Amino acid sequence: MCAGGTPDGRGIARPRSRRRHCRLAEEDPSKADLVKLRFFAGLSLPQAAAVLGISPTTADRHWAYARAWLYNELRREE
């Protein structure tokens, strides 16, 4: 997705959001996948955990990390 959007051409709508998501994907692909499923696909945490094959508890920890990471990225760009 980072190189040119999704195969269907939709990708992430805003370039800055895409850049942040790509940086997270470079650092931790599994957490970036969780963000994609939760934020962009609209799945619940248990649904995303099932898709990724991880426990809901692990998904919750990954989600908390990803949110904090993205928040720090937003603050850094201000």
What pLDDT is recorded for position 6? 45
Sort residue 11 into left (φ over 0), alpha (ψ -120 to 50) or beta. Answer: left
Boundaries of domain holding 49 = 15-76
| Residue 6 domain flag | no
CATH number of the domain bearing residue 60:
1.10.10.10
User: Quick check: is 43 in a domain?
Assistant: yes
In a domain, 3, yes or no: no
pLDDT of amino acid 2: 64
pLDDT at 16 over 70: no
**Each residue of 21-46: pLDDT tens digit?**
788 899 999 999 999 999 889 999 99
> Per the domain annotation, does 41 fall within a domain?
yes
56 part of a folded domain: yes
Give the pLDDT confidence score for residue 7 in this predicted structure. 42
What are the pLDDT digits (tens) for 53-71? 999 999 999 999 999 998 8
Look at the chain and report how many structural domains it folds into.
1
Residue 8 lies in a domain: no
Segment 55-59 long-range contacts (CB within 8 Å, at least 24 positions apart):
59/34
What is the Cα–Cα distance from 23 to 31, expressed in whole angstroms? 11
pLDDT per position as a tens digit, 1-14 = 565 444 444 444 45
